[in-house]
Amino acid sequence: MGVGVNVRHQIAKRAAKEIEDGMVVNLGIGMPTLVADYIPENVNVMFHAENGVLGTGPTPAKGEEDENLCNAGGLPMTIVPGGSYFDSTYAFSIIRRGLLDVTILGAFQISQYGDLANWIVPKKIVSGMGGAIELAQKAKKVIVLMNHVDKKGNPKIVTECTLPLTAKHCVDLIITDLAVIKVTVKGLQLIEVMDGYTVDEVVKVTGAPLFVAKEKKGEC
């Protein structure tokens, strides 16, 4: 159940539906950066990057990259009309003031309470959690994109995280290769099942209880 190239784009395309006109949105490193490629032309969004940009656009076409323009992950990007540049101090001021409508991040684990663990790579040396801790705590809505299970087939959605936490009770929506799950005060609510899968299959590989709204049962 690994996430291939096409599936990554499928997840990003679904995430783009959560973005509304006029929003200020931060896209995390990796799969979240693909979301910008699926925003409709009639939806005006200002994408924010921690390295000091507000107004990033879609991924540039091959051969049209500008070596002076990159996102927080160091990948080539474009700028939309009205975009602006500033230093990372201002970029983090936008985050800390709670001015982001949405942040879209990756994760290693998410608990049934919406706790997020996404900064430490097991058995690897990492430089730190970067801006994730502030993004997770300060954005008005936190969406996580990830594969439903890890490389060994273990659930990444669990009753309690075993990896160091980035932030507690912060995740609002989880979009995986199998399903869309909403974090609520009652627990994890299965609201969509991706094409090719069933509710039972999703429940089987989820390491935390799920409840399904009556109107959402079955495939979506």
The catalytic residue among 50, 67, 134, 219 is: 50
50 flagged as catalytic:
yes
The DSSP 8-state label assigned to residue 7 in this structure reads H
Cα gap 205→178, rounded to integer Å: 10
State whether residue 56 is helix, strand or coil: strand
Q: Which two tokens stand for residue 174?
A: 């989880």
Instruction: Please say whether the beta carbons of 165 and 116 come within 8 A.
Output: yes
The CA–CA distances, whole Å, from 214 to 200, 204, 217 equal 14, 19, 6
In the chain, helix, strand, coil percent, each to 5?
20, 25, 55
Tell me which DSSP letter residue 204 carries.
Answer: H
Residues 100, 53, 25: CA angle, nearest 5 degrees: 25
Listed residue (139, 73, 136, 138) closest to 110, CA to CA: 136
- Whether 128 and 90 have beta carbons less than 8 Å apart is answered as no
Which DSSP state fits 19?
-
- Which residues participate in catalysis according to the annotation? 50
